[in-house]
Amino acid sequence: MKFFKVKTVSETLSIIAEQFHPFRPPIKLPITEACGMVLAEDVISGEQVPHFARSTVDGFAVRAQDTYGASDSLPAFLDITSRIEMGRAAQVLLKEGQAQAIPTGGMLPAGADSVVMIEHVEEIGELLNVYRQVAPGENVIRAGDDVERGELVMSAGHRLRPQDLGVLSAIGRTEVQVFPRPTIGILSTGDEVVPTEKKELAPGEVRDINSVTVGAIAQQHGAIVIQGGIVRDDYELFAARARELFAQVDVLILSGGSSVGTRDFTVQVMQSLGEPGVLVHGVATKPGKPTILAKAGDKPVMGLPGHPVSAQIMFQLLAVPLLERLQGVRARQTDVRLSAKLSRNVASAVGRTDYIRVKLEERADGLWAIPVFGKSGLISTLVESEGIAEIPENKEGVLEGETVKVYLIQ
Please give the backbone phi and psi of residue 40, each rounded to the nearest 5 degrees, phi first: -105, 5
Please give the backbone phi and psi of residue 255, each rounded to the nearest 5 degrees, phi first: -110, 140
Q: What is the DSSP string of 90-128?
A: --SPP-TTEEEEE-TTPBPPTT--EEEEGGGEEEETTEE
Q: Which stretch binds a copy of itself (CB under 8 A): 216-224, 272-280, 293-301, 389-397?
A: 216-224
Size of the site for a copy of itself (CB under 8 A): 98
Q: Which stretch binds a copy of itself (CB under 8 A): 66-74, 98-106, 245-253, 348-356?
A: 98-106
Of 1 and 202, which CB lies nearer to a copy of itself in the complex structure? 202
Window 150-179: contact mask with a copy of itself (x via CB under 8 A): ---xx---x--xxxxxxx-xxxx-x-----
Among 37, 49, 101, 245, binds a copy of itself (CB under 8 A): 49
Of 75 and 222, which CB lies nearer to a copy of itself in the complex structure? 222
Q: Quick check: bond before 50 cis, omega within 30?
A: yes
Of 345 and 403, which CB lies nearer to a copy of itself in the complex structure? 403
39 touches 155 (CB < 8 A): yes
In the region spanning residues 295 to 334, those forming contacts with a copy of itself, defined by CB under 8 A, are 306, 308, 312, 333-334
Q: Give the three-state DSSP class for 278.
A: strand
Tell whether residue 375 is a contact of a copy of itself (CB under 8 A).
Answer: yes
> In angstroms, what is the minimal distance from the CB of 161 to a copy of itself?
6
Tell whether residue 90 is a contact of a copy of itself (CB under 8 A).
Answer: yes
218 touches 182 (CB < 8 A): no
Q: Which stretch binds a copy of itself (CB under 8 A): 4-12, 84-92, 127-135, 290-298?
A: 84-92
301 touches 294 (CB < 8 A): yes
Q: Is 207 left (phi over 0), alpha (psi -120 to 50) or beta?
A: beta
Of 305 and 328, which CB lies nearer to a copy of itself in the complex structure? 305
In the region spanning residues 246 to 275, those forming contacts with a copy of itself, defined by CB under 8 A, are 258-260
> In angstroms, what is the minimal distance from the CB of 298 to a copy of itself?
27
How large is the greatest C-alpha to C-alpha distance in the chain, in angstroms?
97
CA 162, chain centre distance (Å): 11
In the region spanning residues 334 to 373, those forming contacts with a copy of itself, defined by CB under 8 A, are 334-336, 338-339, 360-362, 367
CA distances from 132 to 55, 138, 181 (A): 17, 12, 57
Window 4-43: contact mask with a copy of itself (x via CB under 8 A): ---------------------------xx--x--------
Q: Which stretch binds a copy of itself (CB under 8 A): 92-100, 295-303, 318-326, 383-391?
A: 383-391
DSSP 3-state percent helix, strand, coil across the chain (nearest 5): 25, 35, 45
